[in-house]
Amino acid sequence: MLVTLHAPYVDTSAADLSLALGGPERPALHVRELTLPGGATLRLRLLGASHQVVCGGLTETVACLPGRPPHLPGALHDAAAGYRFTATVLRPDGDGLRARAAALRAELADDPYALVGVFPGDVDAVTALSVRPDPPGGTVGWRTWHAYPQTKELVLTETVVAL
pLDDT reading at 120 higher than 60: yes
Q: Quick one: pLDDT band at residue 90, thresholds 50, 70, 90?
A: very high
Give dist(CA 90, CA 147) in Å, integer. 10
- pLDDT tens for residues 9-23? 555 556 689 999 998
- pLDDT tens for residues 35-79? 887 788 899 999 877 899 999 889 999 988 878 888 899 999 999
- Residues written for the chain: 163
The average pLDDT across 148-156 equals 91
For the chain, the three-class secondary structure string (H helix, E strand, C coil) is: CEEECCCCCCCCCHHHCEEEECCCCCCCCEEEEEECCCCCEEEEEECCCCEEEEECCEEEEEECCCCCCCECCCEEEECCCCEEEEEEEECCCCCHHHHHHHHHHHHHCCCCCEEEEECCCCCCCEEEEEECCCCCCCEEEEEEEEEECCCCEEEEEEEEEEC
What's CA 104's distance to the chain center, in Å?
12
> Of 99, 98, 126, nearest to 114 (Cα)?
126
- pLDDT tens for residues 24-44? 999 898 999 998 877 888 999
